[in-house]
Amino acid sequence: MAESDNTFKKAPKRKPMKGKSVAVSPEMRQAYADLIKEREAKQETYARHLPQDETRRR
Predicted local confidence at residue 28, as pLDDT: 95
Instruction: Return the HEC string of the chain.
Output: CCCHHHCCCCCCCCCCCCCCCCCCCHHHHHHHHHHHHHHHHHHHHHHHCCCCCHHHHC
| pLDDT in 10s for each residue of the chain, 58 residues | 455 566 778 888 888 888 888 899 999 999 999 999 999 999 998 888 777 766 655 5
pTM summary value: 0.47
Rounded-to-10 torsion of CA 48, 53, 57, 58: 180
Domain ranges of the chain: 25-49
